[in-house]
Chains A and B, each alone.
Chain A
């Protein structure tokens, strides 16, 4: 145990619950009759549609662009006709603009041909990544081409691929690593070339021995004399897959508060994002599909599904045979960081990695009580913050005073809420404090 790497401060050990879907190969769901594509799928300005109502679009055609500022284009996930523009439900932002495509069931799937990318320069590769609409698909949704072009005053020497997948239930990255290890390693090669560096470390938690084995084989095959790609097995501890914790684990460097990883010479990409980069550069295929883990005791048939972006949760439920009577809560994302949703009319986005249908015995609906100052949240917090104080301040109606307890350094891993013996919704208090304090 001690020989495996991990981060030193904080963290929790929730049951990983991955056995429901870990051994299920990724399954093609097929195209739903209608796709609802949210225009803002990345951090930055939302896309402006480049198509009009009743326009015919082909699979992979550009349907939205960001004219100014941070952003990436949006592509049609399937061939069809633009049905119209409207608002979609969103797990975090409640209601967001979207466009709907009525798909054409007879349209043939678009074929992509492998090309040799070795001859491309940095700028050409970056343009391909941008044009394919790639964002950090692990959840953040940060435009990938920006991360691949760090500011010149912070020289980067290490690429880290994040295959930790520390969130319980989710097996999307695991399946990606097991089924596409060579593609991911080749994607890493593309990133190394763009960054002009020679070292790539792939962090995988040791509860995924099959992924470690296959990725190691691919990494050995993909390494050359002047380019090292290595798999580093990690201890199983949540939140091992958090960017700052992963960098600390693998390099010993600490990213300063409010700084980017490039400040300590590292760039982190999720393994699935790396696969998307491979698809974009080698196949020329834009990002419009997503592997999503559908799990929990509340769904008839748990699965790892490859779905088109814009597929509504309702269509997925129907495809998997419906929900079970035990269903109590639907969560988009993992159980630690995800958001409960109140409707199935929510479309999958580029950053959706799981939809959990949880039964009563998989969640804790007990009412919370007052803080007893046990301090467990202080020990569990990987960032050294004070969740208990933030919770008390929010309850007392003073969210604007929580900055000194580190509310803005919180990345909402949820360890505090998980460990709290009084079941206090600490991470929710923190989200509230962030919103209120920002609105000041």
Chain B
């Protein structure tokens, strides 16, 4: 878990340069409240305190990464209670949570504070003036995320703000765009993901199937004509990369079988594109993952490991 936390650090550092020092404060508040809530939950529930396993730290970082950079500092505290106490410990503690705690908290915050959570997007800073948003009124500077702009005003408005494809591909890939704190830089997310892959903590199955299906389906159905969509924009503009590498493949909430993981990832990708194109929200990865999380148990029952060799006659304890 500490390795995962370490792999998330570059994203946090980048967010400070993109959105300002307050992302560090939000992440700090989020991590501290997650650890604190975990400690208190385990004390209240009479369970051994396991904050040192790093799991609450990772949840805290991920929670901060999926909320807008201009939110009030109380937001991550409420989110931490939802993620850790209700989403994790009331369901049985680590290993027993059905939903990804960080995403559950995000969904809770969006549903409870829809305005605060959907209007606190900040445009990337000019000249790395990382203190410029501190203390100022967020309303004055807030902007729309690329996906929201695209959804509500169309490609023309999008191009007017972000320039031509070549421009926004580079900006989005490096992370210079409005969005949640940790989701902006495709480059860093992929690098962090590859590091975890190299260390053997994750496998390629879920990230590849999520990203692949989002790209393919956006390409097919995301444009004016069939196969007229922009797959690269679809992958780079929202939280797909962060979700694919750090949330969809969370051990606890994903199936264990590799084939099941591929199908599971495609399910997430399909739901994401469906929500983006036909649903009310500009971004769908959060709800896609939450909707498919409970399917893990079903997948685990459908996809069993292959036994070494079946018994000769149907006798004994075998299947």
Contact = CB atoms under 8 A, between A and B. Distances in A.
A and B associate in one complex: yes
Interface of A: 9, 244, 254-259, 263, 367, 369-375, 378, 381-386, 388, 403-404, 406-409, 422, 437
Interface residues of B, number: 26
10 contacts: A258-B315, A258-B318, A263-B312, A372-B94, A372-B251, A374-B256, A375-B256, A378-B305, A384-B308, A422-B95
A257 B93 CA distance: 36
Interface in B305-319: 305-312, 315-319
Contacts of B317: 403-404, 406-409, 437
A389 to B, nearest CB: 9
Contact of B95 (A259, A263, A372): A372
B95 A371 contact: yes
B90 to A, nearest CB: 14
B312 A256 contact: yes
Nearest to A378: B305
Say whether chain A's binding surface is mostly helix, strand, loop, or mixed: loop
Contacts of B92: 370
A318 B200 CA distance: 45
Contacts of B199: none
Contacts of B306: 9, 384
Given A254-B308, A383-B307, A384-B306, A373 B316 contact: no
Contact of B252 (A9, A372, A383): A372
B96 interface: yes
A409 B53 contact: no
A386 B304 contact: yes
Interface of B: 48, 50, 53, 92-96, 251-252, 256-257, 304-312, 315-319
A369 B307 contact: no
Nearest to B318: A257
Given A258-B316, A403-B317, A409 B95 contact: no
B319 A404 contact: yes
Given A258-B318, A375-B257, 20 more contacts: A255-B309, A257-B316, A258-B316, A367-B48, A370-B94, A370-B95, A370-B96, A372-B94, A373-B95, A373-B252, A373-B256, A375-B256, A378-B256, A383-B307, A384-B308, A386-B304, A403-B317, A404-B317, A404-B319, A409-B307
A373 B53 CA distance: 16
Given A244-B308, A375-B256, A383-B308, A408 B316 contact: yes
A254 B95 CA distance: 35
Q: Which 10 A-B pairs give the minimum distances between C-beta atoms?
A: A375-B256, A408-B317, A403-B317, A254-B309, A374-B251, A257-B311, A370-B95, A384-B307, A383-B308, A372-B95
A258 B96 CA distance: 34
B311 A258 contact: yes
B296 to A, nearest CB: 8
Given A374-B251, A403-B317, A257 B308 contact: yes
Contacts of A385: 305, 307
A258 B312 contact: yes
Contacts of A9: 306, 308
A50 B53 CA distance: 59
Contacts of B319: 404, 406
Contacts of A367: 48
A238 to B, nearest CB: 16
A217 B134 CA distance: 79
Nearest to B93: A370
Nearest to B253: A373
Nearest to B306: A384
A96 to B, nearest CB: 27
Contacts of B308: 9, 244, 254, 257, 382-384, 409
A393 to B, nearest CB: 13
A407 B317 CA distance: 8
Nearest to B297: A373
B318 A406 contact: yes
Contacts of B94: 369-370, 372
A257 B96 contact: no
A381 B305 contact: yes
A372, A374, A385, A408 interface centre (most CB from chain B within 10 Å): A372
A385 to B, nearest CB: 7
A90 B175 CA distance: 64
Contact of A386 (B50, B53, B305): B305
A408 B307 CA distance: 12
Nearest to A263: B312
A54 B220 CA distance: 92
A372 B315 CA distance: 33
A369 B318 CA distance: 29
A385 B305 CA distance: 7
A386 B317 CA distance: 14
Contacts of A386: 304-305
A407 B318 CA distance: 8
Contacts of A254: 308-309
Contacts of A383: 307-308
A332 to B, nearest CB: 27
